[in-house]
Structure 1
Amino acid sequence: MTRINLKTPVASAQPEAQAAALLQQSERIVTDADGCRIVWRRFGEGQPVVLLHGGHGSWLHWVRNIEALAAHRTVWAPDMPGFGESDDIASDLAVMTGALVRGIRQLPGCGKALSLAGFSFGGLVAANVAASLGTVRRLALMGSGGHGGIRRQQRALVDWRKAGDAEALALSMRYNLEAFMLADPAKIDAMAMYAHTESCRLTRFRSKTISRSGDLRGALDRFGGEVLLAWGEHDVTADPVPAIAAMTRDNPRREGRVVAGAGHWVQYEAHGPVNALLDGWLPK
């Protein structure tokens, strides 16, 4: 049985206001991909980059990165179909890919060339979107799913849906963040709790089986462009060194990075180094 430390602090209300303040800097745009409404948030001006979140995620997976990236470019941060405020679709990778391709083609300024970044399940999705879209300049994948290699998860996750009250929910969410998302428990701050809780609550798409499919290398081969792959040193969903070797082997257009001290949610836990890495990689 999984045990939870009942002395663990719960989240505060502060990050909701922080997220709202960030959204005030954005423009909300809704595309319709053959009846599937996708909610996008646009930040900044310049060369476009689309940020795709992970499974049990939302645009909030990029909450520590948007401002830094939008300082020199246009950032599009959607809730992918089946997540957040966007419409539901079948839990199928091809359906997800097609909906996002159609949605991206409707975004202002994304008709000619853009870059993509994806986290976790969103990394596998981004690779497939890049292969289908045909206009992606650069692809950056953080803790990507679909690598088909070693996983290092040691602790089973708690079913937060069984939480009987707000305190039990917060304890479950914190436990799962520590077991799966972040390597350093001290990095589980109020914003991490808020982003994880709100994203999980609004997740309907079932991504786990897809993320473990091992299809990433094939999608990257179909894309054929420049790719950056990064995993946190302590990511439980992969062993970064062999994962990078498998994805970059015999392909000089692909680069790999291991981010020291970080876990799976690498762009949150190590947002300073990752923001610098992405800012240098993505076109401006």
Structure 2
Amino acid sequence: MTASPSEIVAATAARGRRIETPLSGRPLVWHAFGEGRPLVLLHGGYGSWTHWIRNVEPLARTRLVLVPDMPGFGDSGDPEDMFTAQSVTAPVLAGLEAIIGPATPFDIAAFSFGGSVAGLIAASQGKRVGHVVLVGSGGLRLPRAPQVELRNISLLKDPAAIMEAHRANLGIFMFHRPASVDELSVHLQAANVARARVKSRRISRMGVLHDALPQISARLVGIWGEEDVISKGHLDEREALLKSHDPEARFHRLAGAGHWVQYENADEVNAILATELSLG
């Protein structure tokens, strides 16, 4: 019998460990997998740890993978301010230090909105952060592709119509290949959007990651889908920006992939991460 999407999520979480760190109201929830040098995975806007559901276990073969529901998302409590990246970042960094200690070196991979949080963490931690891998990250204050129009979920009441709208939005915004819009991705999208409280799009457009880059000493790596609806036609600018701060930065363009590239091209992204994180 094929497992349902909710069963897949529960089973994946159960193969890891749930950790809670302090946050006002409800705690900050982490999912931990494997052992080794810590690798922090940060999800995107309107997301949760499940943005990385196809990546956590392969990466945990050699690393301690730590994936939070960032403040204002998923099962975690809210930050003090819903409108700043700094308010989201501070509890994540404090929680990470509670888990691994204040001096342990680590790496970060961050998707979309998570890039702004990764930038602030890496800028504050200096050489303690070895790699910052940006996966379709926002916050770079660079040209974007023309904005696409999404279905407005908030206007819908019928459960079937809501799920169909999520399915449509995944095809419009998150994925390039129609076949990538599967039952698991629709389930994850619906669950994540329903629990998102932080205004992540507004924060991403503030250019937080752009402003943090000059203070980052970590090795920079970029992974973007060539068909990413946000940055299609503007990948050269993203590569150039990373290399202007780290001349040895490596930039990967994945053919036939959209924005949520670590789900759509999971095997390829997992292989890239495993290789990049093993390099100096």
Q: TM-score, normalised by structure 1?
A: 0.91
Q: Offset at 1:200?
A: 0.5
Provide the identity percentage: 39
Residue in structure 2 matched with residue 118 of structure 1 by the alignment: 110
CA separation of 1:100 and 1:235: change in aligned 2, threshold 3 A:
same
Residue in structure 1 matched with residue 244 of structure 2 by the alignment: 249
CA separation of 1:110 and 1:139: change in aligned 2, threshold 3 A:
farther
Residue in structure 1 matched with residue 204 of structure 2 by the alignment: 211
CA separation of 1:198 and 1:111: change in aligned 2, threshold 3 A:
farther
Identify the match of residue 39 of structure 1 among 8, 18, 29.
29
Q: Offset at 1:34?
A: 6.7
Q: Offset at 1:113?
A: 0.5
Residue in structure 1 matched with residue 275 of structure 2 by the alignment: 280
Residue in structure 1 matched with residue 172 of structure 2 by the alignment: 179
The answer to whether the Cα contact below 8 Å between 2:139 and 2:207 also exists between their aligned partners in 1 is yes
Residue in structure 1 matched with residue 153 of structure 2 by the alignment: 160
Aligned partners of 1:190 and 1:250: how far apart in 2? 40
> Letter of the aligned partner of 2:176 in structure 1?
A
The answer to whether the Cα contact below 8 Å between 2:220 and 2:242 also exists between their aligned partners in 1 is no
Q: 1:235-281: per-residue Cα shift (whole Å, max 9, x none)?
A: 11112222211232263242211111110101111111111000111
Q: TM-score, normalised by structure 2?
A: 0.92
CA separation of 1:34 and 1:132: change in aligned 2, threshold 3 A:
farther
Consecutive aligned runs of 4 or more in structure 1 exceeding 3 Å deviation: 33-36, 108-111
List runs of 5+ in structure 2 lacking aligned partners.
Answer: none
The answer to whether the Cα contact below 8 Å between 2:71 and 2:77 also exists between their aligned partners in 1 is yes
Residue in structure 1 matched with residue 253 of structure 2 by the alignment: 258
Residue in structure 2 matched with residue 68 of structure 1 by the alignment: 58
Residue in structure 2 matched with residue 271 of structure 1 by the alignment: 266
List runs of 5+ in structure 1 lacking aligned partners.
Answer: 1-11
Say yes or no: does 1:96 pair with 2:96. no
Identify the match of residue 192 of structure 2 among 199, 215, 225.
199
Q: Offset at 1:154?
A: 4.9
> Letter of the aligned partner of 2:259 in structure 1?
H
CA RMSD of aligned residues (A): 1.9
Q: Offset at 1:222?
A: 0.8
The answer to whether the Cα contact below 8 Å between 1:147 and 1:217 also exists between their aligned partners in 2 is yes
Q: Offset at 1:171?
A: 1.0
Residue in structure 2 matched with residue 7 of structure 1 by the alignment: none
CA separation of 1:252 and 1:52: change in aligned 2, threshold 3 A:
same
SS of aligned partner of 2:22: strand
Aligned partners of 2:108 and 2:245: how far apart in 1? 22
Count of matched residue positions in the alignment of Structure 1 and Structure 2: 273
Aligned partners of 2:263 and 2:190: how far apart in 1? 15
> Letter of the aligned partner of 2:67 in structure 1?
A
